[in-house]
Amino acid sequence: MSKKDINEEAIHRLAALLDEHELTEIEYEDEDFSIKVRREPAPVIAGGMHAQPATYAAPVQMPSDPAAPVKAAPAGDPVSSPMVGVIYRRAEPGAPEFCKVGDQVSEGDTLFLIEAMKTFNPVRAPRSGKVVSILVDDGSAVEFGELLLTLE
């Protein structure tokens, strides 16, 4: 049976069966032809759920520990992560790092690669300067806005 001989009424009946029985796919085959009708599943919406009122704990005064060092932000211009992903300091294992503390970088130089959704995205230097500190480890997960390094 050729494409132009396909019975539109049969297609509409199959589509109606999809709706009627809440199916995502239906297939019909006989000796003359076969047809498969498919649709995306409908999104699931939870109904009848009521939010519980929020309960808040009273603020607790934490004891001050003078022995615990306070981590100060390094001096210089911060370079933050533009996305969530896994950060790499080199193009491939065994390759030299894109930058090290003390390196002079130029605007547009690649500082890191962030892998997000199987795609490697370069993090480039926003300006020329000296790398003062690198605050992430190779292969670690980073969040959007997380401080990666500072430039002097």
- The reply to whether CATH 2.40.50.100 applies to domain 77-151 is yes
Q: How many CA atoms lie within 13 Å of 122's alpha carbon, on the beta-carbon side?
A: 10
Q: State the span(s) of the chain assigned CATH 2.40.50.100.
A: 77-151
Q: Does the model's pTM come out above 0.85?
A: no
- How would you class 148 by CB atoms within 10 Å of its CB: exposed for 0-12, middle for 13-18, buried for 19 or more? buried
Residue 84 has pLDDT above 70, yes or no: yes
What is the rounded distance in angstroms from the CA atom of residue 90 to the CA atom of residue 71?
27
Q: What is the pLDDT of residue 14?
A: 74
Q: What is the pLDDT of residue 65?
A: 54
- Percentage of the chain modeled with pLDDT above 90: 48
Q: What is the pLDDT of residue 6?
A: 62
